[in-house]
Amino acid sequence: MALVLPRLTLPCLQLAEALAALTVASLDELAFLLGASDGERARGFAFTLQALMDCALVWSDGDGRLHLAAPLRNAWASPLGLDAPLGQLLAGSSSDELGRMLAKLGVKPAANRKAQRLAALVEQHGDPARVAALVAKAPTATRELLDRRARQAPERPGFVLFGTPQADAGPGEQWAVERGLLVRDRHRYGPARMPAEVALALRGSDWHAPFTPVPPEVRSVPVTGSDVEREAAAASMAFAAHAVSVLGVCAAAPPARLKAGGIGARELSRIGRAAQCDEIPVRLVLEAASAAGLLARDGDRVTATAAYDTWAGKEPADQFAVLLRAWWALPLAPGGSRDEDGKALPALAGAPPCEGCVQARHGLLAAASRLPAGEGAAASADLGALLVWLRPLADELPQDATPFATLVTEAELLGALALGAVSPLGAALLADDAEALADACRRLLPAASGTARFGSDLTAVVAGTPSAHLFELLDSVADREAAGAASVWRFSPGSVRRALDAGRTADALTTDLAAVAVEPLPQPLSYLIHDTARSHGRVRVVSAACVIHGQEPALLAELVAHRGLVHLGLRQLAPTVLISRTPADKTLAALRAAGYAPVAEEPDGSVRIERARRHRAASPVPPPRRPGGRTRAQRTDARTADVGTAVDLHALARRLRDAPQDLAKPDPYDGRPYASDTEEIIAETARNLSFTDARQLAHAVDEGRSITIEYVATSGSTTVRTLSRLELDAPYLHAWCHLRDDERMFTISRIHGVMPA
């Protein structure tokens, strides 16, 4: 069930929901409810019903009645906004209560036993005409109440606080309860419930359940296979170049992780500027590379792994195939950059697995493959609408202005979609054929380029994806200006100096660049390299703990050659100047111990005067005790009296002695420290909750109570939310969020506080 449900189309879910509302129905009853008795809707109804039967989700018994698989029925709390049928709601009623309802209706059952009375009542309200005639005789207040209740979803009992009975019903509701049009709990908890038969009858014969058997129309334009391949090749080449750039930046300067987890907006912006690509490609590369094992968390950083070094040495087609396969199986939406509040989300945040994201990705290519051969979608928004019909349970991103806009952008960036049609890359992904995918990548992506064209304007242009060696060489001596189908580097005095600082020489740089040049190196580039090399190192900077200088070169040369002063690390910069790796005070002491008489200088060049320091007490010595002072015993009694004034120690001892003995006993839960299994699960998962808060949260889950939590989102922001309808699925908590007025999933480890609602 869990495998087939996300793959059901919209009409399949609509038909299943209608059958769940009717519980058991004939073919004609179900078709009438969906408004599919004839025409194209009837053909769509037959096709949809057969699809559900092929999946063994619906079957027909010997009497021609249709039945729905029980697990699928539980997918809807109130299908079509209807409550349970009358027979189920009145199953707990007594025979006398049923008899009184029949008496109000003027119906006499075949027998006075409970089963016959219940059957007579179900038959009475199962006829829409009888229900309509009965309601027509009701008071005005009752008719308005029933009409309103028939068109709204039933209230769930979970919204009523446990132990709080419902207020007495008004005259209008009481009239309906006495005749079985509304059913109240026999313990008078929760609102009165309207049976499904009654609600359908009051909605009228012209009301039909939603049913969309025909997919939305996708406007298409003619495209040729060569055009699709050309567009896919350009997109894949650009993405492969971006991937090399982004991962190269991460390998050289690993991005820092946020305290809440993931790579924040500042680091993403830094990587994007260095790699010269937008945010979505950066996020896409990071998530795919992490899934492929090229990046891994290392303390407070995300660093490249040994697998990255192997990947970097492969051809662009093989590099791209690794990332494309990782994207196809990603259990998340890598392009999701904003949450439902519009706040930025970090990348690589370790979001919980999202099966709906995978289904959306697979469904998008399936939607595009439905187009006729030689046709492509004129607008990507049409593919999003078709995807909603094909995969109604797929997860959409809150940042999308049109359905699945970010997902369509991802597929186009990777070349899986091109000109609104499925490319050979997308077809190989849909077929789950690794060999076909590798062949398509090799056909669309050329081999890595090992040569560059150097221009007189001090630029180097590489067509296609540069090889790892060429990429490293040009990055070391020039600044990258553009990346994509063609990459451009520009040389400058600063970039050449950077290579010289790394230990390269002018001759070595010229030789290495000439080896990868298509034509001889231009004269301006050679002049730039050698001119920069001539001025390189004319001024040198050295680290020193202190400087020694004097007027006698022979004396300073003697200090350098002195074996007893080798540990100072002396080095002669000039005949009268030495530097030492040892701080000034220790250098002075060592020179004096060796028999020399150095002096120290102040920063302004004056001689430092050394005077012996005088040591003085930090505070004056207290005066001697004067005669007449209190003795040690008197002072002790006085201190005891002062304590006794604040706390009565004797009274405190009596209270501790008389306290109930069971207060000191451990919790009496079969020797376990937890009151329930729920509490134990939450206590093991909620790292940021105290024992009291964990117990309060577990109690709310077990008792169906509402609760207020302090929650830290993946973006790092802290919010206070009131939750109800709690369902524990460790390490997650599913609940109705009153702040968002929607169902939400919360990570228990991100809950930092629990309060009563």
Phi, psi of 295 (to 5 degrees): -125, 150
Dist. CA 523–CA 528, nearest whole Å: 9
* Closest among 159, 473, 443, 225 to 317, alpha carbons compared: 443
What pLDDT does 156 receive?
54
Task: Look up the CATH number of the domain holding residue 45.
Answer: 1.10.10
What pLDDT does 260 receive?
82
Residue 615 is assigned to a structural domain of this protein: no
Least confident stretch, 42-56, 556-570, 639-653 = 639-653
More confident: 187 or 133 = 133
The answer to whether 678 touches 728, Cβ cutoff 8 Å, is: yes
Examine the fold and report which residue of 153, 170, 203 is the final residue of a domain before the chain moves on.
203
More confident: 374 or 39 = 374
What pLDDT does 565 receive?
92
pLDDT in tens, 257-301: 988 888 999 999 999 998 888 899 999 999 999 999 999 998 889
Least confident stretch, 387-391, 539-543, 568-572, 649-653 = 649-653
pLDDT surpasses 50 at 86: yes
Dist. CA 733–CA 686, nearest whole Å: 11
Query: C-alpha distances in angstroms, 45 versus 7, 16, 27, 69, 517?
Result: 18, 11, 10, 18, 67
pLDDT surpasses 90 at 674: no
* Closest among 435, 532, 514 to 473, alpha carbons compared: 514
If phi > 0 it is left, if psi is from -120 to 50 it is alpha, else beta; for residue 656 that is alpha
What pLDDT does 642 receive?
43
Residue 302 is assigned to a structural domain of this protein: yes
Per DSSP, 605 falls in state S
What pLDDT does 356 receive?
84
Structural domains of the chain, count: 6
Kindly state whether residues 99 and 114 are assigned to the same domain. yes
Dist. CA 523–CA 117, nearest whole Å: 106
Number of neighbours of residue 443 by Cβ within 10 angstroms: 13
Least confident stretch, 149-163, 294-308, 475-489 = 149-163
Residue 415 is assigned to a structural domain of this protein: yes
Instruction: Name the strand (E) or helix (H) holding 66.
Output: strand 65-68
Dist. CA 573–CA 546, nearest whole Å: 13
Dist. CA 268–CA 7, nearest whole Å: 34
Peptide bond into 731 cis (omega under 30): yes
**E strand map for 402-454:** 417-418, 421-422, 453-454
pLDDT surpasses 80 at 622: no
Confidence of residue 521 (pLDDT cuts 50, 70, 90): very high
Task: Look up the CATH number of the domain holding residue 722.
Answer: 2.30.30.100
Query: C-alpha distances in angstroms, 543 versus 176, 571, 583, 599?
Result: 94, 11, 12, 22
pLDDT surpasses 50 at 302: yes
Which pair of structure tokens corresponds to residue 360? 């959306």
pLDDT surpasses 70 at 641: no
What pLDDT does 684 receive?
85
Kindly state whether residues 303 and 408 are assigned to the same domain. yes
The answer to whether 181 touches 196, Cβ cutoff 8 Å, is: no
Dist. CA 561–CA 552, nearest whole Å: 15
Single-letter amino acid code for the residue at 280: I
- State mean pLDDT over 531-535: 90
The answer to whether 83 touches 154, Cβ cutoff 8 Å, is: yes
Kindly state whether residues 319 and 437 are assigned to the same domain. yes
Kindly state whether residues 172 and 250 are assigned to the same domain. no
Confidence of residue 633 (pLDDT cuts 50, 70, 90): very low
Which pair of structure tokens corresponds to residue 35? 């408004």
What pLDDT does 645 receive?
42
Examine the fold and report which residue of 403, 425, 444 is the final residue of a domain before the chain moves on.
444
What pLDDT does 441 receive?
92
What pLDDT does 673 receive?
60
Please state the separation of Cα 709 from the chain's center in Å: 20
The answer to whether 251 touches 310, Cβ cutoff 8 Å, is: no
Residue 625 is assigned to a structural domain of this protein: no
Kindly state whether residues 520 and 561 are assigned to the same domain. no
Residue 599 is assigned to a structural domain of this protein: no
- State mean pLDDT over 315-324: 92
Residues 6+ apart with CB under 8 A from 116: 109, 110
Residues 6+ apart with CB under 8 A from 665: none
pLDDT surpasses 90 at 320: yes
Confidence of residue 581 (pLDDT cuts 50, 70, 90): very high
More confident: 587 or 623 = 587
Alpha-carbon Rg for the chain, nearest whole angstrom, is 40
Residue 662 is assigned to a structural domain of this protein: no
Dist. CA 367–CA 394, nearest whole Å: 13
- State mean pLDDT over 36-65: 87
Least confident stretch, 209-213, 456-460, 485-489, 649-653 = 649-653
Between the two ends of the chain, the Cα-to-Cα distance in Å is 36
The answer to whether 245 touches 483, Cβ cutoff 8 Å, is: yes
pLDDT surpasses 60 at 599: yes
- State mean pLDDT over 444-453: 87
Number of H helices, E strands in the chain: 31, 21
pLDDT surpasses 60 at 643: no
Phi, psi of 404 (to 5 degrees): 60, 35
- State mean pLDDT over 468-477: 86
Please state the separation of Cα 75 from the chain's center in Å: 25
pLDDT surpasses 80 at 72: yes
pLDDT surpasses 90 at 580: yes
pLDDT in tens, 684-706: 888 888 888 888 899 999 988 89
More confident: 663 or 675 = 675
* Closest among 443, 389, 444, 458 to 415, alpha carbons compared: 444
Residue 436 is assigned to a structural domain of this protein: yes
Kindly state whether residues 22 and 169 are assigned to the same domain. no
More confident: 78 or 637 = 78
pLDDT surpasses 70 at 623: no
pLDDT surpasses 60 at 253: yes
What pLDDT does 525 receive?
92
Kindly state whether residues 284 and 174 are assigned to the same domain. no
pLDDT in tens, 550-579: 999 999 999 999 999 999 999 998 999 999
Kindly state whether residues 429 and 457 are assigned to the same domain. no
Total number of residues shown for the chain: 757
**Mean pLDDT over the full length of the chain:** 84
**Max alpha carbon distance in the chain (Å)?**
132
The answer to whether 20 touches 196, Cβ cutoff 8 Å, is: no
Least confident stretch, 223-232, 287-296, 525-534, 599-608 = 599-608
- Residue whose entry in the numeric block shows the structure tokens 């004797």: 650
- State mean pLDDT over 730-746: 87
Confidence of residue 629 (pLDDT cuts 50, 70, 90): very low
Give the residue numbers spanning the domain of 702.
677-756
pLDDT surpasses 70 at 640: no
Taking 3-state DSSP, the helix, strand and coil percentages for the chain, each rounded to the nearest 5, stand at 50, 15, 40
Examine the fold and report which residue of 378, 409, 444 is the final residue of a domain before the chain moves on.
444
Residue 218 is assigned to a structural domain of this protein: no
What pLDDT does 355 receive?
83
Dist. CA 16–CA 68, nearest whole Å: 7
Dist. CA 447–CA 287, nearest whole Å: 25
**C-alpha dihedral sign at 634, 636, 639, 643:** negative
Number of neighbours of residue 576 by Cβ within 10 angstroms: 14
Half-sphere exposure of 477 (CA within 13 A, CB side): 26
Which pair of structure tokens corresponds to residue 754? 């629990």
Residues 6+ apart with CB under 8 A from 650: none
Kindly state whether residues 481 and 520 are assigned to the same domain. yes
Kindly state whether residues 322 and 229 are assigned to the same domain. yes
What pLDDT does 692 receive?
86
Kindly state whether residues 126 and 239 are assigned to the same domain. no
Kindly state whether residues 157 and 178 are assigned to the same domain. yes
What pLDDT does 579 receive?
92
